[in-house]
Structures are given as structure tokens and as C-alpha cells.
């Protein structure tokens, strides 16, 4: 009950109410920290962190960093406000790990940022040390790095990232602006990528076609068909 009261206090966006709820709570729930991040309520996050909250804790598949990036988990977040960008930087500065997995399907923060389609998120994650590997390259439209990865490891076309995504799924689900994602998808298919590969998402499995449809990539969708 106290944990629910803390979440409700956070939703008021009033720091005084959050302080009062923290005093009543026997512990700080992961849900409360994730909710504060989703709302980009940095002052509440700082208060929770001061009282021992885990900035990498997970609740229903979401960590604070992923909740911030995906304000609405079923849609692109749109252009982030200065408040959200400042909250992202605060989280990264205070120990939020961009390599931890979150969201559905589970993915690293830089891939989630590409799926949202926001370069400002990507820029800050890169600065914080987020790993730029072949999977991130597929999501961000970095053809040279994808080609380099395939040359070094030909099986990469059917490898899976730590959360289970394939590079083809990363390209198909990305909304990153200006990225030539269809070219990367074709490159991966030519290298032997299995377009029927499925990845677990909540209580069902999804494939590259699902990602392309969700991201409204007609060209990739038609290519896969």
C-alpha cells in the first residue's frame, strides 16, 4: 500500500508529496523509480536515489532508463523536451547502465533510442559509453560498421544481441531519421539473415515483418515479403 502511495505521489509531480510518501514507505519499490523516470521527474529520482533506490532496477520488464526513452512503450516518443534530456543525462551520470536490457522485446538503451527515432537520445547514450556494435549499427543505419562486422564474423547475419534481437530486426524496427535502413536489411538478407527468426516480446513472439510494420517501413516490409 505504501509503495502504491509513493507511485501516486510521484504522479502528482509534487516533490513535497513524494517526500512524505518516502517517509511512510518501508522500502522504495522499483515501480516508483521506473515511474519517476517515465515522467522525467528528476527531483523525485534524486530523492529516491539519495534514499537508496536502484537506478537499474526492473519492473515489468522496464528499467528507469528505458521508461524514460519510451514514455509511451507502444509509440515513438517524439521530440524530447529539455526536461527529458536533462533527466536522461542525470540517470547516466548517476549510474544508470545503458547496456542493461529493458522493454519488450528486451534491448539495450541505444537500440531503444533508435526505435524511438531520436538522435538526441543516441548522442547522450554514446557519450555515456553505450556500445556501438553491429546490432546498434543496424538500428542506426551505419552500413560501414554492419559491413565490417559481417566481414569479421560472417555468421553475424543470424546472431542475436544480448536481448535476443537480430540485426535484421534492429534495422526493421528502427525509426532513426535519415538512416538507409532498407539497404542494411538487404545487405543482411544477402548475407543469409533468416527473415523468419522470431524474438520473444511479452507474451508473444515477433519477427522482422512485425518490426517493419510497426515502424511503418513499407520498403522493408515489401522486401521481406
How high is the pLDDT of residue 81? 92
CA atoms of 7 and 161, how far apart (whole Å): 33
Reading the block at residue 131, the C-alpha cell is 556500445
Separation CA 166–CA 170 (nearest Å): 6
The residues, any chain, with a CB within 8 Å of residue 81's CB and separated by 6 or more, are 40
Cell of 214: 510497426
For residue 68, is pLDDT > 80? Answer: yes
Please give the pLDDT value at position 26.
76
Q: What is the pLDDT of residue 169?
A: 98
Which is more confident, 74 or 99? 99
To the nearest whole number, what is the mean pLDDT of the chain? 94
Angle (CA) 68 42 50, round 5°: 115
pTM higher than the cut 0.95: no
Amino acid at each position: 500500500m505504501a509503495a502504491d502511495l509513493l507511485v501516486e505521489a510521484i504522479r502528482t509531480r509534487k516533490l513535497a508529496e513524494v517526500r512524505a510518501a518516502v517517509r511512510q514507505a518501508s522500502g522504495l519499490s522499483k515501480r516508483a523509480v521506473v515511474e519517476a523516470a517515465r515522467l522525467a521527474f528528476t527531483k523525485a529520482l534524486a530523492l529516491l536515489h539519495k534514499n537508496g533506490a536502484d537506478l537499474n532496477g526492473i519492473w515489468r520488464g522496464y528499467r528507469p532508463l528505458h521508461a524514460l526513452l519510451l514514455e509511451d512503450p507502444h509509440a515513438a516518443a517524439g521530440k524530447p523536451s529539455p526536461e527529458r534530456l536533462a533527466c536522461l543525462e542525470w540517470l547516466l551520470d548517476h549510474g544508470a547502465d545503458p547496456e542493461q536490457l529493458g522493454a519488450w522485446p528486451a534491448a539495450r538503451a541505444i537500440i531503444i533510442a533508435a526505435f524511438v527515432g531520436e538522435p538526441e537520445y543516441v548522442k547522450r547514450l554514446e557519450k555515456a559509453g553505450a556500445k556501438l556494435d553491429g546490432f546498434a549499427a543496424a538500428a542506426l543505419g551505419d552500413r560501414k560498421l554492419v559491413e565490417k562486422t559481417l566481414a569479421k564474423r560472417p555468421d553475424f547475419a543470424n546472431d542475436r544481441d544480448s536481448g535476443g534481437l537480430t540485426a535484421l530486426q534492429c534495422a526493421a524496427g528502427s525509426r532513426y531519421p535519415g538512416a538507409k535502413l532498407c539497404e542494411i536489411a538487404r545487405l543482411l538478407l544477402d548475407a543469409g539473415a533468416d527473415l523468419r527468426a522470431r524474438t520473444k516480446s511479452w507474451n508473444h513472439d515477433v519477427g522482422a515483418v512485425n518490426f517493419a510494420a510497426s515502424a511503418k517501413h513499407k520498403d522493408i516490409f515489401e522486401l521481406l515479403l
